[in-house]
Amino acid sequence: MSKKSGKIRDQPQQSAGISKRDYGETLHILQIELVKLQKHFIRCNDKILVLLEGRDAAGKDGVIKRIVEHLSPRETRVVALGKPSDHDRGSWYFQRYAPHLPAPQEFVLFNRSWYNRAGVERVMGFCTDDEYEEFMQTVLAFEHMLVRSGIKLLKYYLDISQDEQRRRLKDRRKDPLKQWKISPIDAQAVKRWADYSLARNEMLARTHNQVTPWTIVRADDKRLARLNLIMHLLSRLHYGDKDEAALLVDPDIIFEYQDTYIKKGLIAP
């Protein structure tokens, strides 16, 4: 995969895709880089935290699977919290997430994170307006505190089109191996597409910042989304013997958030 020059296109383009063979070969190279990264942060006692957000069926599970596939399970954790308990509901919002933060030598990936409050909880009415506003006014202070403590924090939003989400949810219902992914929220994800778009737009606009910026991943093409997210992650982190030539991301697929990108259609309406 080669790095493209120039600015991001003003309108989404249909991806030419990547062959299964090229995808497999590129992924293998990137997974070797991930192992190099892990050896480095274990030696240096680094703490890495990756947040993966996006609509239902955006591909979070798939990219996480490829990231952790060949990493040491002792130093790698995937966190996917379920519905909060009554105890959680009565506690400080970030309290249920704090025990899962990375310790030295750990690489932690959140499959959905505290940003549930700005997405699902906001749209579905699972939180009050006051709870939502409290979250929006305090989340960056919380994240900046984590960064000051030495945690390397990366935030990714996987963005898909409405047609692609419908197709994936339909495939999910048909595939007996994906039945565990089906939930009552799936139907609401389709019906409330516009509400989720508004919640996403406000979340990105209010929580994007220089210390913990949002990176957008156009994820209609699963293979290209996975490869580019992994490339970007590796390019953002320091480790020895890095193969820079293998980490040339496609700026039409992955890019740092800007408000104007929503108006230009670079983020699905």
Measured in Å, how far apart are the chain's first and last C-alpha atoms? 28
Indicate the SS3 state at residue 109. Answer: strand
Q: Is residue 7 assigned to a domain?
A: no
pLDDT of residue 182: 73
Residues 6+ apart with CB under 8 A from 118: 132, 135, 136, 139, 199, 202, 203, 207
Q: Is 5 a member of any domain? A: no
13: in domain: no
What does each of the 269 residues of the chain score in pLDDT, given as a tens digit? 444 434 555 444 444 589 999 999 999 999 999 999 999 999 999 999 999 999 999 999 999 999 999 999 999 999 999 999 999 999 999 999 999 999 999 999 999 999 999 999 999 999 999 999 999 999 999 999 999 999 999 999 999 999 999 999 999 888 887 777 777 777 788 899 999 999 999 999 999 999 999 999 999 999 999 999 999 999 999 999 999 999 999 999 999 999 999 999 999 99
> In whole angstroms, what is the distance from residue 230 CA to residue 213 CA?
17
In a domain, 9, yes or no: no
48 lies in which domain range? 20-81+89-263
Instruction: From residue 84, give the alpha-carbon distance in Å to each of 91, 118, 145.
Output: 10, 15, 24
Query: 153: which strand partners?
Result: 49
> How confident is the model at residue 3, as a pLDDT?
44
Structural domain includes residue 190? yes
Number of domains in the chain: 1
Assigned domain for 12 exists: no
The size of the chain, in residues, is 269
Q: Is residue 11 part of a domain?
A: no
pLDDT number for residue 15: 45
Give the CATH number of the domain where residue 30 resides: 3.40.50.300
CB distance 58 to 160 below 8 Å? yes
Residue 107 lies in a domain: yes
Cα angle: 245, vertex 250, 252; to 5 degrees:
165
**Calpha distance 187→185 (Å, rounded):** 6
